Structure 1
Amino acid sequence: MEYSYKRLTVDSYIELLYKEGFQKSKYEYDQLKEIIEEIGIFRFKGYVKAFRKDVSEYSIDDVLELYNLDRQISINLFKSTSQIEIKLKTYLIEIAYSLTDNPFFYLLKDSYVDNFKLSDESIYDWEVKELKNKKNEIYLHYRDYYLGKYDFNSNKVKYLKDKTLIDLNSNMNINYPPFHYFIENVTLGSLINIISKLNVNDNSIIKLLANRFGMYDKDVFLNYLLRLKELRNRCAHNGRLFNRNYRGVKAYGLHKILRKDIYEHKLLDVYFSMQILLEKHSKIKDTKILEELFVNDILNKCDKKVEDFVMNIIKIKTR
């Protein structure tokens, strides 16, 4: 079936919404038009759809409230994912250096369970380039500091001589840094990929990290990390969050009990899994406490009508 594009203007779209039964906006027409233009019709339609069953009970302003609330949810959850990423990197570096004193171990083939290659994305920042405006900076970024002071060939002789290495990029002049430098600079996606394959002196890093986060099944832990990545990407790319379905993860302990009231693919379940990774879940004893925490932590005293609307959606399978 071919896609048929039909051009829709903001003027005609506002008229259509009123014909469908939405109550009038409190905004002056030109102001409302400007707001929707800034959001974009395609994006705005995604929020309108959430009200389709009860159109006459809501106004266009409720749709705007929902959109603004979803942006607030995105900002607050992005903050949580960043906190988890920092913990993940800190624990990873700590565990790795408890197992080896070679800061370049991550370039050894034996340090991975499968054939592994670092993504170009993860090494690009370590390409040797001319440092412009170096004299004008009081404090160099740690990457620039490292690139200006150390060279990979010297470190290769000292730490990697006569050892089998992973496939290193030969198209770029990469000054591969020590592990802790490298990890602090990688994206969350690259970080998770490395964690899933890293094996230091016959120790599975993902298993040790899982234990550090209170989990004992590395595959379950990996799914939590992939859910974290999914949430981060949706926040970073300004995707709609409140009524989306998310990657499922295996529940254990209290999480299993909460699943009686919460659908595993909805946002409230995702929020609880983030609390587990933040190691803040012990204070959550039941669904009511979880909902109250979400409201206070993520919704930030929003309009009560829209709050109730969202809280119903983020935990059930269908609406």
Structure 2
Amino acid sequence: MKYTYKRLDIDCYINSLYTDGLHKSEVLSDEEIRTTITDIGIFKFKGYVKAFRNRLSDYTIDDILFLYDFDRKLSSHLLELTSRIEIKLKTYLIETAYTLTDNPFFYLISDNYKNDFNLPYDTLYDWEVKEQKGKKELYPHYRDYYLDKYDFKSNYETFLSDVKLIRLDERKNINYPPFHYLIESATLGTVIKLVSEITIDENDILKLVGKKFGILNPKVFISYLLRFKELRNRCAHNGRIFNRNYRSVKAIGTYKHIRKDIYDHRLLDVYYTLYFLLGEEEQFKNSSDLEKKFMDNNLNITNENLKEFILNCLRKN
């Protein structure tokens, strides 16, 4: 079916909400409502309206704006949690790899991958040799320090001259760094791709790093990482967090007790996943503990009707 686009006029859209039963604001003027929704964008705002479905007559436009503000604050909190996991993942990857090899450029050797592999350019971009203009910083970034002090040609001769390499980028001015330098500046997508593909002397990095997170099955572990990446990217790129479905993961151990009352595709279940990956899941004995933690951190609201509505959206399909 062909997609047809119809531009929505802001005033017509707001009036259509009132026609469908939504009550006007109790605190904001019509002009303030118009400006606020214009700044948010109709397309994004519609995502919060949709949460109420056929119950618009029970709520005001203030309630929808509250959902938007709640979602933005929630996104900041979740981004902090995912950042901690990303740091942990990078640390475990580096430590695990260096217990298996003393070659800091092993990641360029084709035999160290399960499949044909090439590094994405968005990760390599930082390592291009570029002419530096203006004054140097007093405290240079480690990337600039490395680019200034070392060159890939010398490292190639020392560490890589007698092995087959992965497909290197066609650009000739990339000063490939040691693995730990690369990982510190790599995108999360690249890090997860490396974790899933690297194997050193038949040692599967995915399996070894998964064990450090308490997940013994590599396939289960990669599903946790992909769920974590999905949430982190939505937070980082200002996507809507509230009232969305997320990819499923297999419940492990006490996680099964949490799963009894919470649909596995909903945000509360994802919230537990973050604490599981952080190794802090023992604070939750049941779903009530998880909800309390979530409420204390994210949902300070006196409107019990709206509070219960939000919780139901977070826990149920």
Q: What one-letter code is carried by the residue in structure 2 that aligns with 1:68?
A: D
Cα distance change, pair 86–56 in 1 and its aligned pair in 2 (3 A): same
Equivalent residues in 2 for 1:266-285, closer than 5 Å: 266-285=266-285
CA distance in 2, matches of 1:20, 1:185: 49
Partner residue, 2:9: 9
CA distance in 1, matches of 2:237, 2:18: 30
Partner residue, 2:121: 120
SS of match in other structure, 2:183: helix
Partner residue, 2:35: 34
TM-score where L is the length of structure 2: 0.95
Note if 1:162 corresponds to 2:162: yes
Note if 1:206 corresponds to 2:214: no
Report deviation, 1:300: 4.7
> Alignment RMSD, CA only?
1.4
User: Retained in 2: the 8 A contact 1:192–1:225?
Assistant: yes
Partner residue, 1:20: 20
CA distance in 1, matches of 2:170, 2:14: 56
* 1:116-148 deviation digits (Å, cap 9, x = unpaired): 11111221111111122343x111111111111
Partner residue, 2:90: 89
Q: What one-letter code is carried by the residue in structure 1 that aligns with 2:162?
A: D
Partner residue, 1:234: 234
Partner residue, 1:191: 191
Equivalent residues in 2 for 1:64-143, closer than 5 Å: 64-135=65-136, 137-143=137-143
**Structure 1: which 5+ runs fail to align?**
none
Equivalent residues in 2 for 1:266-305, closer than 5 Å: 266-297=266-297, 299-302=298-301, 304-305=303-304
CA distance in 1, matches of 2:106, 2:81: 30
Report deviation, 1:211: 0.6
Cα distance change, pair 187–303 in 1 and its aligned pair in 2 (3 A): farther
Note if 1:62 corresponds to 2:63: yes
Partner residue, 2:263: 263
TM-score where L is the length of structure 1: 0.95
Q: What one-letter code is carried by the residue in structure 2 that aligns with 1:196?
A: S
Q: What one-letter code is carried by the residue in structure 1 that aligns with 2:210?
A: A
CA distance in 2, matches of 1:313, 1:38: 25
CA distance in 1, matches of 2:159, 2:301: 56
User: Retained in 2: the 8 A contact 1:117–1:168?
Assistant: yes
Q: What one-letter code is carried by the residue in structure 2 that aligns with 1:52?
A: R
SS of match in other structure, 1:314: helix
CA distance in 2, matches of 1:71, 1:7: 26
Aligned residues: 315
Report deviation, 1:261: 0.7
Q: What one-letter code is carried by the residue in structure 2 that aligns with 1:66?
A: L
Q: Percent identity?
A: 53
Bigger shift: residues 9-18 or 102-111: 9-18
SS of match in other structure, 1:99: coil
Partner residue, 1:219: 219
CA distance in 1, matches of 2:35, 2:200: 56
Cα distance change, pair 73–184 in 1 and its aligned pair in 2 (3 A): same
User: Retained in 2: the 8 A contact 1:10–1:41?
Assistant: yes
CA distance in 2, matches of 1:68, 1:199: 44
Report deviation, 1:112: 1.1
Report deviation, 1:5: 3.0
Partner residue, 2:144: 144
* 1:233-259 deviation digits (Å, cap 9, x = unpaired): 211222211111111011111112222
